Structure 1
């Protein structure tokens, strides 16, 4: 492949195949993410035929991660989290702990060391926001109480992941160098202090400077300059965070969080959405390129084991936690089903672990296999819980849920006229 064509061919093959397989997945009532992952497998080095640039694709995927975390920050709602904090915060932390423990136990049985086993368990513990939103939208439960609980739960998981992405390089490096607990603790403490300073700086200075800058750009009445300004802010702050503590994710998340509180936050989200979607697709394609599908035949029991943790282990943990908080049966079952999958953040954690040397490619493939299968099976999990009594009831006329649903339907574009 001529070097000058690498970027074009990678983009063309990624977008075209992602569209084709995404449409096929949608027709099969599956998440389009399954199609994007399969598209990556098709152009990856483990299948016959055309192979995309395996060095260029991860760099494009890194931009996808930055814009993905930027979008998380733009849509982060502290108010929504506070409404369900008594359930979402302890529930998410307890579920992450249980799933990480189950993953560690399975990893040790498979011969992994403690660090790799914990990393695998942690990657299996976090659910996909994209998959969850799709499921709630199909069930018209985004604005319902169960939707607020599930989204609050995932907001807590997102915050844990952001911190983990900062601390993870230090943990892996410390374990690899057999550093003392004191030295590792000092290193982590120093990094967290820098993170805290950076967060305070962004919340104090950034909330004044960035909104002012966006307003100045908006006064130019140029859509192109406004879009470029939003992207420059997201990528620039992400790069600054990477220079300080090697984490694009934290900087991008904080950039989105700051712009979310500005008067033009909605416009910023709208302008960045097309590029966020495009590079998010490339991110999933690049993940698929790194997946060796033969692991499904080589290690079927291991694949079933990690899939069992995701679908059965996490669901039982969520059921137990929500039952302790005395939620009704339908809400508990829905939250459990919503968490019975893993996705984009598991990919990010697994890829970072491999690049740092804390996880083998074989374990990485197990996590990807569990993600692909759990996303594919998630609609069937919801169908099963509906039979157990979780089928959503139509909101009563005049209720807040009914009013919110009516507003959503009125605002939604009509596909026939789009």
Structure 2
């Protein structure tokens, strides 16, 4: 009896080739996504040799989409977004609009319809979360101000793309989609019904899901079974995505995204993310492999200029738009270049949008191939763009006074107001960073009536601090001018509460130069870095896990000690 092993052969070939080419891509200092897409191309119908089942791969990729979106929702933080909302929200909207218009202009020149151009442009407008996070993590920039701006910017892009995924199907007929069913229902009514269904689903998730999911996870966690907990997380993600599609006519992607968002509210959110990560990663790989199977390599030979133009929109058009917006919000040139490089690529959301466009008849097959070719090239070039930031900035500053002025912006928040009370400018503590640790230190200083000045890169935080009557200056404390504005020459102590220790030596050098007797207090996440800083004897160093262990030991010993009579 012969068994049908199409599913097994598709998974085996997909995983096997993804492993090989993902490894090669990483060794070449490229994103592993490039390897996964290449694996899909090799087992796709456009290349000779073994061809995997496209229909099975498509269904596996749907599961990949659900788990990818579930992961996005699980890590979505409204607080992180609100911290950079003033630049992230308008920045993402303007940049996506510019990229979409550029894409539409290209397709107009190629003779495509308006609907095809819109989907194509939207697919070029959204960057890859996976590529961005890896790029920032590899350069220790994720916790930096520039990293937070870029991640917040991308969160807004993701939310806007989710909205597009919701609105595109009901508008397919108006945009010329070939699969749209003829209907006498007015367009506004169709869109209204769709939005009502989405709102109904969201309300149900926020009201019912917020109560039921944490309760469910709590009871499953009490069993002590790791397999059951993992199963509950995965079944919740896929079950809610499927249920949202059947009951509310909502896309799998939106359903899974809100499942992740609601689960984030649970105290088990970190464990849920950790337990589901291997399966999410596995199906994400199959998603990228299945996308690669749709690629037509011949387009690189038949339409090289179209491919170059598409890449140009992503790397040049999006980057210039992001730079202009960042500079318009009075951030320095360095921040503008980092944001521009971060967004100069496309990935998973572009593929999801393009796939929906294909299914609705709103994107030709060559459109998907152009998007895939541009994704491969832009992801491959992204590390080079990051490496070129500092040399390019130095070259710009050398040849242009305007660039030099942009790097040293005249920012009203970079100087303390003349009205600042004298007590804050004599014997004060200069506190660098107002994150989770810095905020706790500041609250303790406030309650003890100890004067301090905060140096913080986030202009919005500085503005809010000043409104609350707390003296603060905006800028990177590695720049001597920032510490000078915080009156470091009169300070009694410099406290660096940021986790990033890359520039800490510059801060200490400036502080010691202007105030040789100043006390230095530093924070670090790395045991190796804490040892190096202690050997240099530049101040008191606090290492997170070490301080946690010390605090727990003190408590244990105090509780265990015999009680005095």
Bin the TM-score by the shorter chain. Answer: over 0.9
Q: Secondary structure at the match of 1:55?
A: helix
Q: What is the count of residue pairs matched by the alignment?
A: 409
Q: Secondary structure at the match of 1:313?
A: helix
Structure 1 stretch displaced more, 185-194 or 59-68: 185-194
Asked if structure 2 preserves the Cα contact closer than 8 Å seen for 1:66 and 1:234, the reply is yes
Show the 5 A alignment for 1:119-268.
119-176=119-176, 183-243=186-246, 244-268=248-272
Give 1:84's aligned residue.
84
RMSD: 2.3
1: CA distance, partners of 2:71 / 2:331: 30
Give 1:173 shift.
3.0
Question: Which structure 1 segments of 5+ residues have no match?
Answer: 412-418
Higher helix proportion (structure 1 or 2) = 1
Give 2:386's aligned residue.
382
Give 1:398's aligned residue.
496
Higher strand proportion (structure 1 or 2) = 2
Asked if structure 2 preserves the Cα contact closer than 8 Å seen for 1:329 and 1:390, the reply is no
Asked if structure 2 preserves the Cα contact closer than 8 Å seen for 1:124 and 1:346, the reply is yes
2: CA distance, partners of 1:53 / 1:107: 31
- The reply to whether residue 407 of structure 1 matches residue 525 of structure 2 is yes
Give 1:138 shift.
1.4
Give 1:415's aligned residue.
none
Give 1:93's aligned residue.
93
Distance 1:179 1:5, change over 3 A: closer
Write out per-residue CA displacement over residues 223-278 of structure 1, whole angstroms, 9 at most, x where no aligned residue: 11111111111111101111122400111000000010101111111111000000
TM-score, scaled to structure 2: 0.70
Asked if structure 1 preserves the Cα contact closer than 8 Å seen for 2:115 and 2:362, the reply is yes
Asked if structure 2 preserves the Cα contact closer than 8 Å seen for 1:127 and 1:340, the reply is yes
Give 1:395 shift.
8.3
Asked if structure 2 preserves the Cα contact closer than 8 Å seen for 1:126 and 1:346, the reply is yes
2: CA distance, partners of 1:145 / 1:409: 23
Asked if structure 2 preserves the Cα contact closer than 8 Å seen for 1:395 and 1:401, the reply is no
2: CA distance, partners of 1:118 / 1:10: 33
- The reply to whether residue 351 of structure 1 matches residue 355 of structure 2 is yes
Give 1:185 shift.
1.8
Distance 1:408 1:238, change over 3 A: farther
Q: Secondary structure at the match of 2:292?
A: helix
Give 1:70's aligned residue.
70
Distance 1:390 1:91, change over 3 A: farther
TM-score, scaled to structure 1: 0.93
2: CA distance, partners of 1:340 / 1:3: 47
Distance 1:388 1:234, change over 3 A: same
Asked if structure 2 preserves the Cα contact closer than 8 Å seen for 1:40 and 1:284, the reply is yes
Write out per-residue CA displacement over residues 112-147 of structure 1, whole angstroms, 9 at most, x where no aligned residue: 011100110000000000000111011111000000
Question: Which structure 2 segments of 5+ residues have no match?
Answer: 396-475, 479-494, 503-522, 529-542, 544-565
Greater Rg by CA: 2
2: CA distance, partners of 1:401 / 1:389: 25
Q: Secondary structure at the match of 1:402?
A: coil
Asked if structure 2 preserves the Cα contact closer than 8 Å seen for 1:334 and 1:390, the reply is no
Asked if structure 1 preserves the Cα contact closer than 8 Å seen for 2:198 and 2:250, the reply is no
Asked if structure 1 preserves the Cα contact closer than 8 Å seen for 2:144 and 2:500, the reply is no
Give 1:165 shift.
1.1
Write out per-residue CA displacement over residues 163-219 of structure 1, whole angstroms, 9 at most, x where no aligned residue: 111111111134346989992122112211211121122112111111000101111
Give 1:406 shift.
3.7
1: CA distance, partners of 2:122 / 2:361: 16
